[in-house]
A and B are shown apart, each in its own frame.
Chain A
């Protein structure tokens, strides 16, 4: 039994197997696996007795439910008007230089993915970004470098 199948079984037991519980289950899988693989979508469809295409259609609608391989930490920079006015591009440049990847890519070692997202609701502390579910605001290039280094170390410590 793959770990994902087991995870999906528990999520289904916890949330229920109706169509309206689909989104919580999808979120549960993304929280763990960082993305929805083809296999996991099929398992969800089997568990909830739903057509696979419906699961795929619903999942691809929401920007947080990724369906491509993602790194362990997903960095999401807010690109809406106030953040982009307050220097979001410099932040992106700094991260790109540090991690050697462009927006939309994942680092070769699979630790970080860099994405852009729409308004995070921190316009008064722009620019802002999310790393997985943590919010970081009033970013400056130095602050970003510092945040990333301790993520890399934290990452290092876990290994």
Chain B
């Protein structure tokens, strides 16, 4: 257990002003590419979208592929239930994101950047276009050839997955592709592509601004830096908070819970549900052997108090997955339906409680064999809820 002094440390990097973005952009694009890459690698920044892939490595891999056309894409699809931080970033500090995209273009040798904005954020467009025009003018001023365009999604949670996003941008159904090949070699239009979450690019900006040391000092081993958390559910103060990674859940609940928190959903529907008895040994951060388990997260924290029935929670998640699955691969398309019908049958008493164990084994199969993250992560919350709240599932 980290020392008690290690309480929640509020941090303020992301939403700090972005007034000197021009200057950062200018001297970043004058620094050699490998230096910028090493800066990112030494900062140990990991993807904030939820997958947690080291950003430095991602840029490095794509930079190494020699191809005249490459793309930089900012993934602003943010469909994960309970997550609303990207929208805040894009409305408050859009230029940070644009700068990081330009620097990435410089590092990997790409001239085109796209922001994949989800359909539900249609109202963000006018504001964002204004910033892009402003950014474009400055780029022409320092004759740095990098254009950024917005690509609007149309309401499909699966398009948050990187290869489904490429398919969607290519005008096709958002069905994830086979991996390998990975985006760094075969991304949008078959060209090498870097695709990063909005918040990850915002953190890159911080690293280019203050150097990797300031970022590295925050957080704990394996989970460096700070993270934006979207807090919602049964909490007196829902909203967005930038906290250091590696904090323990018990501190978090003390701060944000309403005193009667029964469970916390970390990382949205595809994340992990931690019951009260698990708070003590769970920390928020990427893998690595801190005491107990640590959970990668896209930042969504939903708190449930004892008035909530976990059966309804799981029913809602499975309904969400059943509808949002792209329907391409068997384990996910049919698996979600079986899980949903299964828990309904158990609740109505048509199947006895042992059927839940069969469904648990089914989720294991889905985890091992589904083609993309959606199908693989249905198991996380299902097993947690069925294991810890079995009575609520049956009666």
Indicate if A touches B (C-beta under 8 A): yes
List of B residues within 8 angstroms of A65 by Cβ? 154-155
Please report whether the interface of chain B is mostly helix, strand, loop or mixed according to DSSP: mixed
Partner of A64, one of B86, B155, B230, B239: B155
Interface size counted on chain A using CB atoms at 8 A: 36
Is the pair B173, A121 in contact by a Cβ cutoff of 8 Å? no
Most B CB within 10 A of own CB, among A23, A84, A122: A23
* Residues A62 and B316 in contact, CB atoms below 8 Å apart: no
For A22, the closest partner residue in chain B by CB is B171
Q: Which residues of B contact A107 (CB under 8 A)?
A: none
Q: Roughly how many angstroms separate A94 CA and B25 CA in the complex, as a whole number?
A: 51
| Residue B313 interfacial (CB < 8 Å) | yes
The reply to whether A123 and B123 contact each other, CB–CB distance below 8 Å, is no
Residues of chain B in range 231-256 having any CB-CB distance to chain A below 8 Å: 231-234, 238-240
Interface residues on B, range: 35 or more
Complex interface: chain B residues within 8 A of A82 (CB): 81-82, 232-233, 302
Considering only CB atoms, which chain A residue lies closest to B154 in the complex?
A: A62
B304 to chain A, nearest CB (A): 8
**Are A124 and B232 closer than 8 Å at their CB atoms?**
yes
Q: Check B170–A118 contact: CB distance below 8 A.
A: no
Q: Does B1 contact A (CB under 8 A)?
A: no
Contact B233 A119 (CB under 8 A): no
Looking across the interface, which residue of chain B has its beta carbon closest to that of A133?
Answer: B122
Q: Which residues of B contact A26 (CB under 8 A)?
A: 154
Q: Is there contact, CB below 8 Å, between B169 and A20?
A: yes
With a CB–CB cut-off of 8 A, which chain A residues contact B121? 121
Residues of B within 8 A of A126 (CB): 232
Question: Is the CB of A147 closer than 8 A to any CB of chain B?
Answer: no
Indicate whether A20 sits within 8 Å of B81 (C-beta atoms), given known contacts A62-B119, A117-B155: no
| Contacts A81-B316, A123-B82, A123-B230 known; 4 new A-B pairs at CB < 8 A | A81-B82, A118-B324, A121-B83, A124-B231
Measured CB to CB, the residues of B under 8 A from A are 78-84, 86-87, 118-123, 151-157, 168-174, 189, 230-234, 238-240, 265, 269, 300, 302, 304, 308, 312-313, 316-317, 320, 323-324, 326
- The residues of A with any CB-CB pair to B shorter than 8 Å are 18-24, 26-27, 57-58, 61-65, 79-82, 84-85, 117-126, 130, 133-135
Q: List 7 A-B contacts (CB under 8 A).
A: A20-B169, A26-B154, A61-B173, A63-B155, A85-B308, A123-B81, A124-B84
